[in-house]
Amino acid sequence: MTIPTNASRYPRREALGLLSAAAGAGMVAAGTGVLPLQAQQRFTSVEPPSFPAGAIIRTLQGDLDPSELADGATLFHEHVGRDDVDLAVNELRECAFNGLGCIVDAATGRRSASQVRNLNAIANQSDVRIVMAGGYFEDIGFSIYPVRVAEMSEDQLVEELVSDAAAQRWGAFGEIASSLEMRPDERKVHRAVARAHLRTGLPIFTHTPHESCPSCAMDQMDTIESQGVDFSHVVIGHMATIKPEHDPLGTHKEVARRGAFIGLDTLGHEMGRSDIPAHDKVRMVQDLLEAGLEDHILLSSDQGNERQFNRYYGHGWASVLMQFVPKLRFAGVPEEAIRKILVDNPRRFLAFVPQD
């Protein structure tokens, strides 16, 4: 993927540093001072999916025809927004060099005005497309709803979600969370999100507890389905946190059988609440491919820890591409399957026909 650049973004010292880091991957155009860089690895479409007439992918840089995301990996669940805009912009620049084309910024609560401004400022300076997602998050022991959410009616929540989605240009609802045992308020929020999805068309991605909870996935699906949602627009998240002894493939098959995407979105870095080795997560992908479920797999890292950014010798939002994908290749996963999972599947999930 070619990364557009300009002299104002790349002062001489930074350009020389990037040129050194990209040995053989780019060159300074003679006499221009511009540094055109080629990504050191490319993820491109295998077979363009068919999209409904009028389908778009809504990014902060504008609504896209889904065909525009045919070059570059898309990660469906990350945490991009932060106060340090320059840090995020530079991080995304390095991630683009590592093959990233589009990233979804997950919310764990209603964003403040300054958080919305910061995320838009990051998007305005980035060549990586950013999809803003929104919603409410509760996973007892980790995070709980604000009191106002618990006090709001389901109808009020629906109206607020629809209004915020329009005002802030959301491209998805997420991450929509529940606890090890789904509480009444969590069911209310899941129903409200499902109803807001029917009003807007926006896709949904969820959070299940990292402590391995197959039943949580089924509870979320039952609650969302009760409102008439088509699961082709839904990702059930954190499915890579299901422990081997809890039969992850059995849960994954059931999620896929009901039509949803299987979100393997804790990849490429250590997770404090889930100690499942990368080898086991690679095996999950292999098992899904052997079961013929490649159309239902999505990958992401759920990354937002600055200490794991490129600045600190990590790979940040490209950890899936730089740490997990090489493990898939080593295990013999075909390159076409990797590209389909990283390019074609996420745009099938994100593409929607606006309804409201």
Residue 11 binned pLDDT confidence (cut-offs 50, 70, 90): very low
Return the minimum-mean-pLDDT range out of 180-184, 238-242, 304-308. 304-308
Q: Supply angle C-alpha 303, 307, 312, rounded to 5.
A: 115
Confidence of residue 287 (pLDDT cuts 50, 70, 90): very high
**How do residues 239-273 score in pLDDT, each as one tens digit?**
999 999 999 999 999 999 999 999 999 998 777 67
Residue 37 pLDDT class (50, 70, 90 cuts): low
Gap between the Cα atoms of 15 and 312, Å rounded: 20
pTM for the whole structure: 0.89
For the segment 95-114, the average pLDDT, to the nearest whole number, is 96
Q: Between 201 and 37, where is the model more confident? A: 201
151 phi, psi to nearest 5 deg: -85, -20
Are the C-beta atoms of 148 and 108 separated by less than 8 Å? no
Given this model, what pLDDT does residue 356 score? Answer: 64
What per-residue confidence (pLDDT) applies to 31? Answer: 35
Report yes or no: 216 and 208 within 8 Å, Cβ to Cβ. yes
Mean pLDDT of the chain: 90
Where does the chain show beta strands of DSSP type E? Answer: 2-3, 37-38, 57-59, 62-64, 73-78, 100-105, 129-134, 170-177, 204-207, 234-236, 261-264, 297-299
Higher pLDDT pick, 21 / 344? 344
pLDDT band per the 50, 70, 90 thresholds, residue 330: very high
DSSP reduced 3-state for 165 = helix
Q: Which domains are seen in the chain, by residue range? A: 1-38 (no CATH), 41-350 (3.20.20.140)
pLDDT score for 26: 39
Percent of the chain with pLDDT over 90: 84
Q: Could you tell me if 119 and 60 are in contact, meaning their C-beta atoms sit under 8 angstroms apart?
A: yes
Q: pLDDT tens across 48-66, in order? A: 999 999 999 999 999 999 9
Predicted confidence (pLDDT) per residue in 139-166, tens digit? 988 899 999 999 999 999 999 999 999 9
